[in-house]
A and B are shown apart, each in its own frame.
Chain A
């Protein structure tokens, strides 16, 4: 009996401790060097090809229903001739304190053991709440059945998605999503799984740089870097200026700004003040007046 009570108390402690899952094996994160980014959009295309994302056509894109999981946001400042164009690739930052996770009534989205914010397509009922709660607007919805012809409506203007022979180019490692479910960037979880399997077979941890999501692999200027933030020696930890274990611990435990922790003055996180703790670190110096060092004039 005493043993049982002890067990229950121990469990209770575990359940009441918010960060009990910090003993994750990995903590996948990404660094995006905006000074290297040329805004070419290769990452967008690569993502589309890797993750079986349907092409929805002009009309649906105009309605804001393109399904690309990563987008290049363009911001144009000033009037001609003093025009500055800035862009920033935005994809799901796999927030540590993700607002979308609390919204789902059926656990279709939750935090997995690698620190990823995952979406379970089979469980999704389509309440849209996760997408609404997402401050980054990175969640995408399957408005139609894109992979087969629909006689009432030609797949929302695009009947070409995955029509033969295009179905031959689908990635076998990724499911084709059903109508009515939410989807979003997974950090190419199929590649992470494959690498973990390989590492397990060879009885070693995953090497730094072993996993490259499609966007990272494709980026011609190497603006995107992917890696494990639990390892302070990894390339992304170095790039983000979080090169000591203490930094990482502090980042995880406190809600403070990355600029207070990081040794790299260029590191910032998008919409950091919302306290969602995103794990994508952008590299660009943000000046006191809110402008950045180098626009692309």
Chain B
């Protein structure tokens, strides 16, 4: 029962409570500095350009005919992809009872929720009339206007709505015991705040029993849900007729890419978190080792799917498909991006084969950031090299994003960071009770 191989067995229960609660209550100057930078950056790179775009119109972007989808959709797919490892990985590792899940899953789940929120904002930014953002939701109204349930975008509304609420509830219900632990230790407004959030949790055997059951059921739901979400996002593209997008391989391709980029995102996050919160004793090298192995697998899968994509296009040998492939790999003005993506996603992660690289924090950070750069480029290329080469050559036109789009792209990263910065302050970012489970149940006679 006791999983003591993680090197956490010599930590006492009290120490876990102290460490996690200290990270929430003791606020240094660095935190306020980061928060201030985030808020100012958010206003400058995200808020103002978006306000400008809403006021003047979508014309301030670089979009044009036929390039109606641009950086915003790239970011949307990217953030949905990032969201894929947190809750999905947490659920899979929970069901398979993997012990090293316990100290990383809480922040990974938060990453899921926040990146889904970021992706959702991208959809609204992308809209031509964002003040009508509520129209695609199926709500009863007196005009009796419903929505088109045949539309792939409607699948998106359902999939992302379900995914964001479910992953939030998964995160929340998983942290109720920890919120209770925080409630017991704080004073003032925090006492009331966490008291309300903890719902009066006491930790009775009945509560634990039911929580574990409900949590397991939710985990079972989350796995097919997460797979369906990115499949559905891929169908936004794959259900069109456009060469380069209309591919049956897109659903598994996107899901693999999503898990890949999400796992890399978790590694980046772990490096930053353990440094910022001084949690080296909970996020150990074991975690980097295991996630590194996972990345090698995902990298090989990703490479396989990419090669298959080119192969099927090559064998199909239709003029549309040939042109799309040629454009993507060689003739686009940003063809170097394709080869940069291949380097970042297919070659550098193979370094993880070496145990030394897996255990090296710096190498992990570099490779994981590289993977996410590559994955962003992948989404960019999927959209930006297919739409400019649609069927009628008269309409072929390259796409050049405007400063507004680049700024909001940068802003989306700041948006995500800000949410996360607030999260580590207001939420127990490590699972107190599951780290305790990791340490082992205290027995008078050891070696039961």
Residues of A at the B interface (CB closer than 8 Å) are: 60, 63-65, 71, 73-75, 90, 99, 102-107, 123-129, 131-133, 135-137, 139-145, 150, 152-153, 156, 178-182, 271, 274, 276
Q: Contact: A153 with B60, CB < 8 Å?
A: yes
- B57 contacts A180, C-beta separation under 8 Å: yes
B147 in contact with A126 (CB, 8 Å): no
* CB interface residues, B 125-144, toward A, < 8 Å: 126-129, 132-133, 135-136
Give a binary string over B108-131; 1 marks a CB under 8 Å from any A CB, 0 the rest: 000000000000000000111100
Indicate which residue in A71, A128, A145, A156 contacts B63 across the interface (CB closer than 8 Å).
Answer: A128
Q: How far is the CB of A157 from chain B (nearest CB, A)?
A: 9
B170 CB to nearest chain A CB (Å): 27
Q: Does B161 contact A (CB under 8 A)?
A: no
* Shortest Cβ gap from B19 to chain A (Å): 46
Name the interface residues of B230-274: CB closer than 8 Å to any CB of A: 236, 239-242
Q: How far is the CA of A252 from the CA of B42 in the complex (A)?
A: 54
List the A residue with the shortest CB-CB distance to B132.
Answer: A125
Besides A64-B67, A156-B59, 11 new A-B residue pairs in contact (Cβ under 8 A), listed by A number? A64-B64, A64-B397, A90-B392, A99-B241, A105-B153, A106-B148, A126-B128, A133-B241, A136-B392, A137-B65, A274-B241
Q: Of A105, A136, A179, which is within 8 A of B148 by CB? A: A105
The answer, among A71, A125, A143, for a CB contact under 8 Å with B59, is A143
Once the chains bind, are B242 and A181 in contact (CB under 8 Å)? no
Question: Which B residues have a C-beta under 8 Å from some C-beta of A?
Answer: 52, 55-60, 62-69, 126-129, 132-133, 135-136, 145-148, 150-154, 157, 236, 239-242, 387, 390-395, 397
Nearest B-chain residue to A102, judged by Cβ: B150
- The chain B residue sitting closest to A276, CB to CB, is B241
Please tell me which one of the listed residues A64, A135, A136, A144 contacts residue B56 in the complex, with CB atoms under 8 A apart. A144
B128 touches which one: A65, A104, A125, A152 (CB < 8 A)? A125
Task: Provide the bound-state CA to CA distance between A125 and B58, in Å.
Answer: 12
The distance from the CB of A86 to the nearest CB of chain B, in whole angstroms, is 11
Task: Jot down 16 A-B pairs with beta carbons below 8 A, ordered by A.
Answer: A64-B66, A65-B59, A73-B394, A75-B393, A106-B135, A107-B145, A107-B146, A123-B145, A124-B128, A125-B127, A132-B66, A150-B55, A150-B56, A153-B60, A180-B58, A271-B391
**Do A181 and B69 touch across chains, with their CB atoms under 8 A apart?**
no
Q: Are B65 and A131 in contact (CB under 8 A)?
A: yes
Residues of B within 8 A of A181 (CB): 128-129
Whole-angstrom distance between the alpha carbons of A179 and B242 in the complex?
A: 26
A123→B135 contact, CB < 8 A? yes
Which 10 residue pairs across A and B have the least CB separation, nearest first? Answer: A126-B128, A143-B59, A180-B128, A128-B68, A73-B394, A180-B129, A64-B64, A105-B153, A144-B57, A137-B395
The distance in angstroms between the C-alpha atoms of A60 and B63, with both chains bound, is 11
Contact between A145 and B57, CB atoms less than 8 A apart: yes
Contact with A107, one of B55, B59, B68, B148 (Cβ below 8 angstroms): B148
Residue in A closest to B66 when the chains form the complex, CB atoms: A137
Known A64-B397, A127-B153; judge A179-B145 contact (CB<8 A).
no
A90 to B394, CA, bound (A): 10
A125-B129, A133-B240, A150-B56 as given contacts; A105 in contact with B154, CB under 8 Å: yes
User: Is A131 a contact of B135 with CB atoms below 8 Å?
Assistant: no
**Within 8 Å CB of B236, what residues of A?**
129
C-alpha gap A104/B150 in the complex (Å): 9
B397 neighbours in A (Cβ, 8 Å): 64
Q: Given that A137-B66, A143-B59, A274-B241 are contacting pairs, would A103 and B128 also be in contact in the complex, using a CB cutoff of 8 Å?
A: no
Q: Which residues of A contact B391 (CB under 8 A)?
A: 135-137, 271, 274
Query: Hey, which chain A residues are within 8 Å of B136, CB to CB?
Result: 105-106, 125, 127
Q: How far, in whole Å, are A60 and B67 apart by their CA atoms in the complex?
A: 14
Complex: how many Å from CA A182 to CA B126?
A: 14
Name the CB-closest residue of B to A145.
B57
Contact A141–B129 (Cβ < 8 Å): no
The answer on a CB contact under 8 Å between B394 and A74 is yes
A-side contacts of B154, CB under 8 Å: 105
**B147, A107: Cβ atoms closer than 8 Å:** yes
Taking A105-B148, A105-B151, A125-B135 as contacts, is the C-beta distance between A152 and B129 under 8 angstroms?
no
Please report the C-alpha to C-alpha distance between residue A131 and residue B128 in the assembled complex, in whole angstroms.
Answer: 12
- Complex Cα distance A276/B64, Å? 23
A121 to B146, CA, bound (A): 16
CB contacts (< 8 Å) of B58 on chain A: these are 126, 141, 143, 179-180
User: Would you call A106 and B147 a contact (CB within 8 A)?
Assistant: yes
Q: Which A residues are in CB contact (< 8 Å) with B395?
A: 64, 73, 137
B66 → A minimal CB distance (Å): 5
- B393 proximity list for chain A (CB < 8 A): 75
Bound CA span A110–B224, Å: 32
